[in-house]
Amino acid sequence: MTPHFCTIVPPHILERVARSADPALAEAARRTLVVDAAQRTARGLAPTEPAHRATAKARAAGVQRTIYDVRNGTDLPGAKIRGEGGEETGDVTENRAYAGLGATYDLFKNVYGRESIDGEAMPLLASIHYDEKYDNAFWNGEQMVFGDGDGELFLDFTIPLDVIGHELAHGVTQHTADLAYYGQSGALNESMSDVFGSLVKQYALGQTADQADWLIGAGLLGPAVDRGEALRSMKAPGTAYDDDVLGKDPQPATMDDYVRTHADNGGVHINSGIPNHAFYLVATALGGNAWERAGQIWYDTLTGGSLSSEADFAEFAAATVAAAKARYGDGEEVTAVRDAWSAVGVPVD
Q: Which residues are catalytic?
A: 167, 269
Cα atoms found within 13 Å of the Cα of residue 330, Cβ hemisphere only: 0
270-196-49-157 Cα dihedral, nearest 10 degrees: 70
Nearest in space to 83 (alpha carbons), one of 64, 66, 62 = 66
Query: Which amino acid belongs to residue 136?
Result: N
Contact present, 249 and 240 (Cβ < 8 Å): yes
Distances (CA, A) of 213 to 101, 141, 203: 21, 29, 13
